[in-house]
Amino acid sequence: MKRLALFTVILAGVLFAATASEFPRLGDPDSAPSRHLSPAYIQGSLPQTHTPNFVTAVLGDYRGFDTMFETAVVFLAGMSCFFILRALRRRGLTEVYYYRHKPTGVVLAMLAPRRISPRTSCFERIDADWTPQDMVVETMCLFMVPFIQVFALYVIAHGHYSPGGGFQGGVLLAASFILVGLSRDLRTVESLLTEKTAILTAAAGVCLYAGTGLLALFFGGNFLDYGAYASFFGAAVPAARSMGILIVEIGVALTVMATLVTIYKLVSSRGTVEEGL
Amino acid sequence: MTGQLPILTIAPLLFGAFAVTAGRFLFRRANYAVASLALAASFAASVLLAIQILTHGPAIYFVGGWPPPVGISYVADPLSALMLAFVSGAALCTFLASKSEIETSYPLKNSAFYALFLLAVAGHMGIVVTGDAFNLYVLIEVAALSGYAILAQGRERAMLSSLNYLFVGSLGASLYLLGVGYLYIMTGSLNMADLSAIIGRLTPDGLSGSTALAAAWGVILAGLFVKMGLFPFHSWLPAAYSFSAAPAAALVAPLTTKVMAYVLVRMILSVFTPDAAWGVPAINTLILVLATAAILYGSFCALAQRSLRKMLCFILLSEVGYMVGGAFLGNRAGLTGTIYHIFADLLMTLCLFLVAANIERGTGGRFSDMGGLFRRMPVTAAALVLGAASMIGVPPFCGFFSKWYLLSGAIAAESYAFAGALVISSLVNAVLFFRIFEIGFFGAPPDHTGQADQAEPAGESGHGHPGPIPFFRDEMPPARLAPLCLVAASLVVMGLLTGQIVRLVVDPILPPGLG
Amino acid sequence: MHELLAEFGNKFHYYGYFAIMMIGLYAMIAKTNLLKKCIGLGIFQTAIMLFYVSIGAKEGAGIPILDPAVGTADPAAYANPLPHVLMLTAIVVSVATLGVALALVQNIHRDHGTLEEDEILQRLRGK
């Protein structure tokens, strides 16, 4: 089996290599992709969409329809993980619940979960198989979180002018939550961004994107034609397009953040969203 | 507003999916109604679009207001408009017919199922109507990703089968993406019409003039064959469709393979022209051999199966062989047969998978459980007879006409092995279904078997007979039967409308010079 | 000989992508561990992304963001933005696929206690 696989793979590789003979050399300024469409984007981006970052202009406007479905794919991944993994009925995964008495450090094992309020009770819930990091790591990580989030907002908002945009910013926002999960525990993440909020945020993000597209129909434009909002914003068409790109980037960021946090929570806790990394 | 119809076919599904996701927390009881409404709206828009296109001619929709090579366009011609109506109609019928099935198969997660279902349908419809090669890739992934998730729930093996489907499906989609990359590096464009024009300019004498473009066509074909489960790449298909819960299979099985065959036709007609696509004889012969092998393999494996859904999966494999083979016969009749068969097979598979879902719920899906089917579930059994007759190719049904076109194409192309495989497959289908009819008419139901064995001689002497099973004993409620009856009836209607469909839908999109 | 070497020098990056792609394909075919198959899929998709991104390269061009000092009169001054956009989409799609694959893998591990495909099949057959 392995020999056969190796043989097939080498054969396919040789075949593929044989097809490369007509390809342009690396960085050829006269290759078809460099000459056919890209000048239209490079020269049209600023006058048509007021966006100096050509990648953002193509992503958010010229090929915004791709990006909308791409956001839908992210949302879909979150829903799929939820559908596959989420254990809605408690069965067999966590049978013992551990509570630590804060002043003495004594740990009690209970067979049923107890409801304790984290602020007033002298007990705290701890994970069965995950010992939290020590205080230095935890404090430093929590200290980092606001900076990561501010930087994420900058990346989203500045995507028109520099590398960045909704996906990158959304991932950074998700990273800040996941850092909390890694340095503290999953329940803290759950209390900051509950599963319900996360799913609703993910749906709201894609809805913001698709809604921006659909609303353009009522202003007389085609789907995703942000130029139709010119009269609404009281600005010229390129400025309206720039604004439209910003709105959909925010939608993308919301969906990416919420979905990645949801997937992290589900996968790290085997679908229970109770304890895990 | 009629100019906006192409996008209005898909928009309700997207917003419906988000609404049911939010509805999980807000208006849970109304969720099923919301999802059905979204599907119905999409179906209505598709039908309106089809009527508009058939009366006023094709339309190109510029998404974002950008004209084609720069932006993404939606192309609604007679073929894609009718396909949209079929896909959304099939999805609506599946959804209406499997309400109770969804609620029992996915307890507590049915809202998530509705969202995945709606997005899967949106993905399939987008594939049909898009005019951009890269947008097609994104939509293939939208359609496939929800398929992986909903097929994973079911019997114990479903998870593993679904994961294998994910590997193979992603591999196929990646190969398609690589093929589009080949096209992009050679032409610099992604729009299908633009690509077609540039390819025509680069290789005026057919694809054999350029290694890279021929390789692009080969890689795209390989990707599509993997996605539709043609013979050597088929192993994921029966496993993924037969171990999952019934509603998921009833949605994905009729749509995915047919929509992928549609993409194949679209690639032949809109990106490469038929002359170029059929320009390399060695590739044509190889694909015809694969298609013939797929038909025979599917038919003979179907003979070995002991449960209805698994048998249907293998019949599906041979149907894929029909469609691929017809597209590479290299003549007008063959391509007409393929296009017609995409529509016909969508209806037939839909009908039979809905029947299989009903039978699994009513009597059990194994052949041994299905004794007395015609008394226990007469309506479902009648639909089974109609679907089977169409599958076998009995004259007034649509299955007959597609086979007729394919056969005449095969004979015109002098491809007698393919023609022979078509005939053999019809005969095997007849054997397969008559075996089920026999069990359904004469077999004893399993919960009666113990008594029936003893009662048979006793019954002849007049006492001790348990009595005939009451009619309709295991029949499904009317809500499940109505969509099924509609689909079964449409098999005949479509057969009777064959002439009009070929004249209005197939002829306008085939190039006039095609022999 | 010299021309052949020059040709190889111009095309070497394509051979690299195809080699990476085939490594990924090999992992998907030959490995029985489901997680390794996931990794193989990732390698395969990454090779295709590299292929696309290399199309965007242009000699003497800067990043595809407007430089006020250069202006847009000469498109040759900027790299082609389209492949970047396409690959941003493809990367997100592959991440989403990987997420779903991991969810499935985890469920399989919960049910069977192993990730070796042949062992799982054996257990399923045994029942």
The closest alpha carbon to B494, from B400, B403, B383, B407, belongs to: B400
What is the pLDDT at residue B451?
A: 43
pLDDT at residue A75 in the model: 94
Q: Is B303 helix (H, G, I), strand (E, B) or coil?
A: helix
Residue A138 has pLDDT above 70, yes or no: yes
Least CA distance to C11: which residue of chain A? A25
Distance CA A153, CA B497 (A): 58
Query: Residue B464 carries which DSSP code?
Result: S
pLDDT in tens, A86-122: 876 555 555 677 787 878 878 888 777 777 776 777 7
At B467 the pLDDT is: 61
Determine, for residues A29 and C81 on separate chains, whether the beta-carbon distance falls below 8 Å: no
* Paired tokens of B488: 């079964």
Residue A97, Cβ neighbours under 10 Å: how many? 18
CB contact under 8 Å between C100 and B145, yes or no, is yes
pLDDT tens sequence across B406-439 = 999 999 988 899 999 999 999 999 999 999 898 8
Q: How far is CA C98 from CA A171, A256, B168, B244, C38, in A?
A: 16, 15, 13, 21, 7
Burial of A92 (C-beta count, 10 Å sphere; 0-12/13-18/19+): exposed
Helix, strand or coil, per DSSP, at residue B457:
helix
Sign of CA dihedral A73, A75, A76, A80: positive
User: Are C100 and A8 a contacting pair at CB < 8 A?
Assistant: no
**Cα dist. A12→A9, B169, B290, C15 in Å?**
5, 19, 19, 12
**Min CA distance, B294 vs chain C (Å)?**
22
Cross-chain residue pair C97–B170, CB shorter than 8 Å: yes
For residue B15, the model assigns a pLDDT of 92
Beta carbons within 8 Å of B151's beta carbon, 6+ residues apart: B158, B161, B162, B165, B240, B241, B244, B248, B249, B252
Closest CA to B311 of B432, B178, B398, B199: B432
Tokens of B421: 């495989």
Could you give the number of structural domains in chain A? Answer: 1
**Percentage of chain A lying above the pLDDT 90 cut:** 30
| Residue type (1 letter), B345 | D
Which of C21, C93, C104 minimises the CB distance to B138?
A: C93
Residue B452 has pLDDT above 70, yes or no: no
Is the Cβ of B72 closer than 8 Å to some Cβ of chain A?
A: yes
Helix (H) or strand (E) holding B62: strand B59-62
Question: Dihedral of CA B79/B80/B84/B90: which sign?
Answer: positive
Confidence band, pLDDT 50/70/90 cuts, at residue B351:
very high
**Which residues of chain C neighbour A163 with C-beta distances below 8 Å?**
63, 65
A30 touches chain C (CB under 8 A): no
Range A149-164 average pLDDT: 90
Where do the domains of chain C lie? 2-126
Would residue A2 count as lying in a domain? no
Tell whether the model's pLDDT for residue A124 goes beyond 80.
no
Q: Does residue B272 sit in helix, strand or coil?
A: coil
Burial of C70 (0-12, 13-18, 19+ CB in 10 A): exposed
Q: What is the pLDDT of residue B386?
A: 93
| Nearest-by-Cβ selection for B145 from A63, A65, A73 | A73
Average of per-residue pLDDT across B194-208: 84
- Choose the weakest-confidence range: A27-31, A60-64, A173-177, B497-501: A27-31
Question: Which among B103, B63, B57 has a CA at the least distance from the CA of B81?
Answer: B57
What three-state secondary structure class fits A174? helix
The rounded Cα A250 to chain-centroid distance in angstroms is 11
Q: Which two tokens stand for residue B461?
A: 């002497």
Mean pLDDT (whole number) for B286-311: 92
The answer to whether residue B171 scores a pLDDT higher than 90 is yes
Nearest to B96 by CA among B364, B395, B350, B276: B350
d(CA B272, CA B266): 9
Q: What mean pLDDT, rounded, does chain C reach?
A: 88
The reported pLDDT for the residue numbered B454 is: 42
Is A117 inside any structural domain?
no
Q: What is the pLDDT of residues B42-91, one digit of tens each?
A: 999 999 999 999 998 888 999 888 888 888 999 998 999 999 999 999 99
Q: What confidence score (pLDDT) does residue B265 get?
A: 93
pLDDT beyond 50 at B497: yes
pLDDT at B290 over 90: yes
Question: Cα–Cα distances in Å, from B317 out to A114, B244, B303?
Answer: 54, 17, 13
Alpha helices in chain C (DSSP H): 2-30, 34-56, 81-112, 117-126
**How far apart (Å, rounded) are the C-alpha atoms in residues C116 and C104?**
14
Percentage of residues in chain A with pLDDT exceeding 70?
A: 94
Q: Is residue A99 part of a domain?
A: no
Cα(B76)–Cα(A206) distance, rounded to whole angstroms? 25
**Residues of chain A neighbouring C75 (CB-CB closer than 8 A):** 34, 38-39, 42-43
β partners of residue C116 = C33
Q: How confident is the model at residue B6 (pLDDT cuts 50, 70, 90)?
A: confident
Residue of C nearest to A163 (CA): C65
Continuous segment of H or E residues that includes residue A100: strand A97-101
What letter represents residue C52's amino acid? Y
The verdict on C115 touching B (C-beta cutoff 8 Å) is no
Q: Could you tell me if residue A184 is inside a domain?
A: yes
For C74-106, what is each residue's pLDDT tens digit?
Answer: 888 888 899 999 999 999 999 999 999 999 999
Contacts of C5 (CB under 8 A, 6+ apart): none
Q: Which pLDDT band holds residue A132 (cuts at 50, 70, 90)? A: low
Select from A54, A63, A74, A277 the residue whose CB has the most chain C CBs within 10 Å, as the one to mutate to test that interface.
Answer: A54
Chain centroid, CA B65 distance in Å: 32
What are residue A47's phi and psi, to 5 degrees?
A: -65, -30
Nearest by CB to A17, which of C15, C78, C83?
C15
In contact, A166 and A248? CB cutoff 8 Å: yes
> In chain B, where are the structural domains located?
1-129, 150-279, 285-453+465-515
> ipTM of this predicted complex?
0.94
pLDDT at residue B13, as a whole number: 93
Read off the pLDDT of each residue in C21-28 and give the average, rounded to a whole number: 92
Of the candidate ranges A109-123, B140-154, C42-56, the one whose mean pLDDT is the lowest: A109-123
Return the higher-pLDDT residue of C7 and A77: A77
Task: Give the number of other CB atoms < 10 A from CB of residue C50.
Answer: 16
- pLDDT at position A131, please? 64
Paired tokens of B47? 């039908």
Closest CA–CA distance from residue C93 to any residue of chain B (Å): 7
* Lowest-confidence segment of A161-165, B261-265, C85-89 by average pLDDT: A161-165
Nearest CA in chain A to B153: A84
Q: Does A29 touch chain C (CB under 8 A)?
A: yes
Q: Which residues of A touch C61 (CB under 8 A)?
A: 29
pLDDT at residue B447, rounded to an integer = 62
pLDDT, residue A133, reads 61
pLDDT at A277 over 80: no
> Can you list the alpha helix ranges (DSSP code H) found in B393-504?
398-412, 416-442, 446-461, 478-496, 498-501
Rounded to an integer, the average pLDDT of C1-16 is 81
- CA distances to A142, A170, A173, A254, B339 from A179, rounded to whole Å, are 8, 14, 10, 18, 53
pLDDT higher than 70, residue B458: no
Write down the architecture of domain C2-126 according to CATH. Answer: Orthogonal Bundle (1.10)
Running DSSP on this structure, what letter comes out for residue C114? Answer: -
pLDDT of residue B52: 92
